[in-house]
Amino acid sequence: GEGSQEQATRRCKLYFLMQKVADKERIFATEEEIETRIKETAARRQTTAAKLQSEMEASGEVATLRSEMREEKTMEFLKKHAKSA
């Protein structure tokens, strides 16, 4: 439907806006933060962090996780600065 096309466009614009903010503010997920997230996920899935990480690297999920975490940090940054603006 037409609504979903609009939503997709809005999501795309938001994504690029977030990337711009993240680049400008040098916001990124550190390897340490990614490792911590993988350890937490592994614990929930009752597997080892090493096993989960190698599975995620093989499937390309680590890159996805990295960009999701970067987006989360960018949102936190924007919320913090929106309050003080």
pTM of the predicted structure, to 2 decimals: 0.80
Give the pLDDT of residue 1: 61
Are 76 and 33 within 8 A, CB to CB? no
What pLDDT does residue 15 have?
87
List, for residues 27-85, the tens digit of each pLDDT value. 999 999 999 999 999 999 999 999 999 999 999 999 999 999 999 999 999 999 888 76
> Residue range 14-29: average pLDDT?
94
Interacting residues of 47 by C-beta distance below 8 A, sequence separation 6+: none
